[in-house]
Amino acid sequence: MLSREFNQIFGKYKSDKEIFHDLMPLRTREILLVAPAFDAFTLEQDGLLTEILFEGYYQLNMSNPPRVTNVSTAEEALEKLASRHFDMIIVMSRMGQVGHIELSRALRKADTRIPLYLLLNDNVEVGVMDRRRQELLRHYDQIFVWNGNPEIFMAMVKFMEDRANVVNDTAVGLTRVILLVEDSIRYYSRYLPILYSEILKQTTRMAKDRSVDGMTRTLSMRVRPKVILATSYEEAMAFCERFQDYLLCLISDRKFPKDGLLDREAGTKLIRAVKDLNPHLPTLLQSSDPFKESWATALNSCFLNKNSFTLGAELSSFFYEHLGFGDFIFRDDTGREIARATDMEDLQEKLRTVPVESLVYHASRNHFSAWIMARGEVQVAKVLASFRIEDYRDPEEMRTFLISVGDYVQRMKSRGKVIPLMETTPKDEPNILRLAPGSMGGKGRGVAFTHSLLSRLDLESLLPEANIRIPRSAIIGTEEFTAFINRHDLRQMLQQDVDDDAIKQRFLMGSLSPELMAKLRLFLGKHAKVPLAVRSSGLLEDSLSHPFAGLYNTFFLPNNHPDLEVRVAQLVEAVKLVYASVYSKASRSYFEAIDYKIEEEQMAILIQEVAGRRFGDRFYPHFSGVAQSFNYYPVAYTQPQDGIANVAVGLGKYVVEGGKAYRFAPPYPEMDMLPPREQVRTTQKRFYALDMSRTEVDLYHGEDATLLDLDIPEAEKDGALHHCASVWDANDDRIQDGLDHPGPRIVNFRNILKYDSFPLARILSYSLQLIREAMETPVEIEFAVNLDPDPENGKPTFCLLQIKHQLMESGDVNLSAADLDPASVFLFSEKCVGNGVVEGIRDIVWIDPDGFDKFETPALASALEKLNDTFRGQAGKYVLIGPGRWGSTDRHLGIPIAWSMISCAQVIVEYAMEHFQADASLGSHFFHNVTSLNIGYFTVPYPRGTALLDWDWLRTQPEVYRAGCLVHSRVEQPLHIVMDGRRSASAIFKPGAQPRS
């Protein structure tokens, strides 16, 4: 019951960091000191003002100490006020040229809003000024005495800020108030520096104890208690009533004015009146008469001798014992100590065991809220302060609630954040853990952003049928990579002609830092006991301009060896091999192609739990996929902005490598993009799974070392196809839903997309729109789905694995069929990716369809790579034309090449043949790299329709090289190539030809 209320209340408040920013809106930055030349010289030479302020701010981890401007005459003061804003003015008393009242009037006339303080030199002046005190206070906001104590300046600054900010800070951040009641200029001028010093020291100590970043630590200093000074009984009572809910304590002198007259017992009367309002408020009676301690005891108040030589130590003790600055001391109803907690985690443990009477004792006095507030936990203190003893059914329910609050605090503090991995990090929370410092890299940034985004949304109400989350993740920052490279002098390998095997061997010989090794053991031992994916997260990876997709390695680990040290060794090997992939041949080719220096790259590592479930000796999700918010190939009534999704059974590696995935537009999940017979022909035949039968792994031989490449019938045996496939009925020439009939299986996710057994289309539509708006650019997401009910809530799980920019160019290009003279055009397509104009290319590398043999595609791939190496050596570019699908690893879909094998191609053309057709490589790493470099990517279908490809003209061009069906031709004049991305139209004009105007 109360947990629900807690959630509702908690949700109303801002995060701690937001509240910290809203505290202390008025801070002192400029001080005008009006002092005689001698006093100003003394202060400057002795360093009693500027240095004290600077040192005080520095030691207390506070930023921006105020600047002090000295002037020695009233005229100079007025000139400064006319030229610059000041936050406070301090007037030294020995101003001989003009009287104090006349000076204050002149300064007030210049600006009535600036706090104005009079600073007396010593106690002798106090005696002299006492006769004029009331008159002076009508012109000055407060009077202080210096007495040579430089810390009075810091106290004056803090005093002014507290008076200005107390109303805001109590309302916004539940900031506590210390009320000091003292009418003696001499004593409060002595007392305030000690009081502020102790408050700031205590606040600083606790801020340093908190495991937060430096900015939060600095900001949390603003939540310190505010000190308010009252000099009469009536003023004190007014403050008590106004800030009754925020009072941390009352520190009162024994005698001060009451009803206009000096009352020697005003302090005891005030404490008695305040105790009537709040019986449990800590109070401290101060007196220069040590025999009055018994009076304080009778009032259940502490006592402080104002003349004590240990005034600071006694005040510090009061803070520790009564204001929540020290350990939380559990007491029984007689006040006897029975237990002690040093931090939040320790407090939670003690709450489980202390007698319930002690809990009632502290809760009724609001001690838990005060103690937690003193630690800067604004939200929690705010919530706890709203509950009373009577809100609980019984004290044991209160105990349970307080313990759950502690758990909730830890979750909320880390929710949506990347948190350092420590021994005390909760193991059951879906956090992103930081294992080493430095940048998170491209993938890491995307996952962290998604984690933060999801934590702020109420997805349960929007999509109640599914869990939507990211997998548990850990990030090794780029500093570890840089240190690894430098420690083992590996950068020199870039200057050497070494193959990939030699690079991997050198990297495997290196050692990770001891600090990271300790974190990896802790991560595997406590937080990661399921299969893991070790992914690259380069500093430049998944960037807006160059995503580097698929360039570096990703390794899957079963993480199932019974020996922790073996599992650690396997993870370390994977990390080193990802590092090594930065220096691989493919990587170096890519960097050359985009004119980057490989030395600019730094590598972070993203470690993620593999989404899915175990099926016997293999592990995989029911299905995975890639979705893009912009569709380069819309069909029927779909629009480019509707996006496109590609899904397949098993691990997502199959989709990103260009396998036969099922395509659909998320807003129209019921629409088949292909006719039934085409679905039969192009359906998924194989899938990837993680091999769990082996505990020993050898990652040296590549990313597939731990994976199984299986036939789709194996997934049906596992029971993973139930919602993912249908049956082709050849007799009736139609697709039958479900798997109850004999016949070829078609992986078309009909039960999910047409009958909404899982809200995949709605999740993708919502996610793409949300992330696109958040990133302000078209986006691509990778995901995986486990259809098994989660044990905790009975829902299937949708895991967002990665997000990246989907690059789109928007140059001013227009191309339509009306612009074309067929005689001047070599190629025209209405299915293209890219935007802009390409000039200067004379070379065409093409596969002659007359001699093409689909069983010889691997040999063609090898020949193409050698030809591409020649172009790279000459810094040349070419148009590449070939059958089927480029970028697929499936030799039956096209020529199986990786990007580095054709990296010099500036325009890539896929043409279809009657018996050799494949969909474009949407969703693959290859396709993503093509689009990121704005390489023209054209498709010529079969039959051609409006498309054009003039083979007769091409065969008449001079040939530089021919080997079988692989031809390199060079035209006499450069080609003119136009790509209209908005219309998905493209054309390659014959030399000398241009579009008709």
- pLDDT tens per residue across span 946-981: 889 999 999 999 999 999 999 999 999 999 998 887
- Strand 825-829 with 948-949, pairing: antiparallel
Does residue 884 share a domain with residue 781?
A: no
Whether 271 maps to a domain, the answer reads no
Structure tokens at 540: 């430049």
Closest CA to 570 of 513, 536, 521: 521
Q: Looking at the DSSP assignment, which residues form a beta bridge with residue 287?
A: 305
Q: How confident is residue 837, by pLDDT bands cut at 50, 70 and 90?
A: confident
User: Distance (Å, rounded) from C-alpha 396 to C-alpha 391?
Assistant: 12
Whether residue 674 is predicted with pLDDT greater than 50 in this model: the reply is: yes
User: Distance (Å, rounded) from C-alpha 345 to C-alpha 424?
Assistant: 9
- What residue type is 725 in one-letter code? A
Whether 119 maps to a domain, the answer reads yes
Q: How confident is residue 882, by pLDDT bands cut at 50, 70 and 90?
A: very high
Q: Looking at the DSSP assignment, which residues form a beta bridge with residue 882?
A: 910
Nearest-5° angle of CA 634, CA 649, CA 679?
A: 50
Radius of gyration of the chain (CA): 37
Question: By the 8 A CB rule, do 601 and 538 touch?
Answer: yes
- What residue type is 313 in one-letter code? A
Strand order of the β-sheet with 247-253 is 226-230, 177-181, 247-253, 283-287, 302-305
User: Distance (Å, rounded) from C-alpha 278 to C-alpha 398?
Assistant: 22
Cα dihedral angle (42, 43, 44, 47), rounded to 10 degrees? 120
Q: Looking at the DSSP assignment, which residues form a beta bridge with residue 180?
A: 229, 251
pLDDT score, position 762: 95
Task: Count how many domains the chain has.
Answer: 5
Structure tokens at 198: 């102790």
Judged by DSSP in three states, 490 sits in coil
Signed CA dihedral, 144, 148, 151, 154: sign only: positive
Arithmetic mean of pLDDT, 443-465: 82
Closest CA to 750 of 674, 681, 685, 644: 674
Does residue 632 share a domain with residue 598?
A: no
Whether 633 maps to a domain, the answer reads yes
CA distances from 42 to 38, 46, 93, 118 (A): 6, 6, 15, 18
Question: By the 8 A CB rule, do 516 and 435 touch?
Answer: yes
Judged by DSSP in three states, 295 sits in helix
Pick the last residue of a domain from 180, 213, 229. 180
Judged by DSSP in three states, 168 sits in helix
Judged by DSSP in three states, 234 sits in helix
User: Distance (Å, rounded) from C-alpha 719 to C-alpha 613?
Assistant: 12
Which class for 146: exposed (0-12), middle (13-18), buried (19 or more C-beta within 10 A)?
Answer: buried
Closest CA to 232 of 206, 209, 263: 263
User: Distance (Å, rounded) from C-alpha 533 to C-alpha 516?
Assistant: 18
Whether 68 maps to a domain, the answer reads yes
pLDDT score, position 50: 60
Does residue 176 share a domain with residue 46?
A: yes
Question: By the 8 A CB rule, do 462 and 453 touch?
Answer: no
At 96, which CATH number?
3.40.50.2300
User: Distance (Å, rounded) from C-alpha 234 to C-alpha 243?
Assistant: 14
At 505, which CATH number?
3.30.1490.20
Q: Which residue has the higher pLDDT, 460 or 724?
A: 724
Closest CA to 151 of 116, 117, 181, 194: 194
Whether residue 656 is predicted with pLDDT greater than 70 in this model: the reply is: yes
Whether 513 maps to a domain, the answer reads yes
Question: By the 8 A CB rule, do 900 and 585 touch?
Answer: yes
pLDDT score, position 345: 75
* 776 torsion bin: left (phi>0), alpha (psi -120 to 50), beta (else): left
User: Distance (Å, rounded) from C-alpha 348 to C-alpha 354?
Assistant: 11
At 652, which CATH number?
3.30.470.20
Structure tokens at 944: 């051609």
pLDDT of 852-875, one tens digit each? 998 899 999 999 999 999 998 888
Whether residue 647 is predicted with pLDDT greater than 70 in this model: the reply is: yes
- Across the chain, what does the average pLDDT equal? 84
User: Distance (Å, rounded) from C-alpha 616 to C-alpha 885?
Assistant: 34
Does residue 409 share a domain with residue 453?
A: no
Q: How confident is residue 917, by pLDDT bands cut at 50, 70 and 90?
A: confident
Q: How confident is residue 721, by pLDDT bands cut at 50, 70 and 90?
A: very high
Long-range contacts of 321-330 (CB under 8 A, 24+ apart): 322/249, 322/282, 323/225, 323/248, 323/249, 323/282, 323/370, 323/374, 324/367, 324/370, 324/371, 324/372, 324/373, 324/374, 325/202, 325/206, 325/374, 328/367, 328/371, 330/354, 330/358, 330/362
pLDDT of 224-270, one tens digit each? 789 999 999 999 999 999 998 788 899 999 999 999 999 999 999 99
Structure tokens at 44: 């400057």
Mean pLDDT check: name the lowest of 569-578, 612-621, 724-733. 724-733
Closest CA to 478 of 445, 451, 429: 445
* Neighbouring residues of 565: CB distance < 8 A, sequence distance ≥ 6: none
Structural domain span for residue 141: 1-180
Whether residue 932 is predicted with pLDDT greater than 80 in this model: the reply is: no
Mean pLDDT check: name the lowest of 134-138, 741-745, 772-776, 931-935. 931-935
- Strand 662-664 with 644-649, pairing: antiparallel
Does residue 837 share a domain with residue 780?
A: no
Arithmetic mean of pLDDT, 147-166: 85
Q: Looking at the DSSP assignment, which residues form a beta bridge with residue 474?
A: 433, 607
User: Distance (Å, rounded) from C-alpha 464 to C-alpha 478?
Assistant: 38
CA distances from 353 to 389, 889, 912 (A): 19, 62, 75
Q: Which residue has the higher pLDDT, 561 or 379?
A: 561
Whether residue 215 is predicted with pLDDT greater than 50 in this model: the reply is: no
* Neighbouring residues of 871: CB distance < 8 A, sequence distance ≥ 6: 843, 877, 878, 904
Structure tokens at 655: 């989709």
Whether 966 maps to a domain, the answer reads yes
Pick the last residue of a domain from 587, 607, 627. 607
pLDDT score, position 60: 47
Whether 967 maps to a domain, the answer reads yes
Does residue 482 share a domain with residue 391?
A: no
Closest CA to 169 of 178, 159, 177, 160: 177
DSSP letters, 924-985, are: SHHHHHHHHTT-EEEEE-SS-TT-EE-HHHHHTSPEEEEETTEEEEEEEEEEEEEEETTTTE
Arithmetic mean of pLDDT, 827-839: 84
User: Distance (Å, rounded) from C-alpha 158 to C-alpha 498?
Assistant: 65
* Neighbouring residues of 626: CB distance < 8 A, sequence distance ≥ 6: 645, 646, 652, 655, 656, 661, 780, 781, 782, 783, 922, 923
Does residue 587 share a domain with residue 444?
A: yes
Does residue 166 share a domain with residue 134?
A: yes
pLDDT score, position 11: 43
pLDDT score, position 870: 93
Structure tokens at 469: 């989350």
Say what angle helices 395-414 and 2-10 make with each other, to 10 degrees: 40
Alpha helix stretches (DSSP H) within 757-851: 760-775
Does residue 852 share a domain with residue 761?
A: no
Structure tokens at 297: 């005891």
Whether 312 maps to a domain, the answer reads no
Does residue 71 share a domain with residue 55?
A: yes
User: Distance (Å, rounded) from C-alpha 248 to C-alpha 350?
Assistant: 24
* Neighbouring residues of 308: CB distance < 8 A, sequence distance ≥ 6: 314
Q: How confident is residue 12, by pLDDT bands cut at 50, 70 and 90?
A: very low
Q: Which residue has the higher pLDDT, 8 or 540?
A: 540
Arithmetic mean of pLDDT, 157-186: 87
Mean pLDDT check: name the lowest of 516-520, 535-539, 763-767. 535-539
Whether residue 833 is predicted with pLDDT greater than 50 in this model: the reply is: yes
User: Distance (Å, rounded) from C-alpha 117 to C-alpha 99?
Assistant: 15
DSSP state of 894: B
Q: Which residue has the higher pLDDT, 419 or 54?
A: 419
Question: By the 8 A CB rule, do 707 and 688 touch?
Answer: yes
User: Distance (Å, rounded) from C-alpha 634 to C-alpha 840?
Assistant: 31
**Residue 289 main-chain phi, psi, to 5 deg:** -105, 105
Does residue 473 share a domain with residue 494?
A: yes
Whether residue 666 is predicted with pLDDT greater than 90 in this model: the reply is: yes
CB atoms within 10 A of CB 211: 13
- What residue type is 429 in one-letter code? E
pLDDT score, position 40: 65
pLDDT of 14-37, one tens digit each? 455 555 556 667 888 899 988 877
Does residue 722 share a domain with residue 587?
A: no
Pick the last residue of a domain from 607, 629, 662. 607
Report the largest interatomic distance among the alpha carbons of the chain, rounded to a whole angstrom: 117
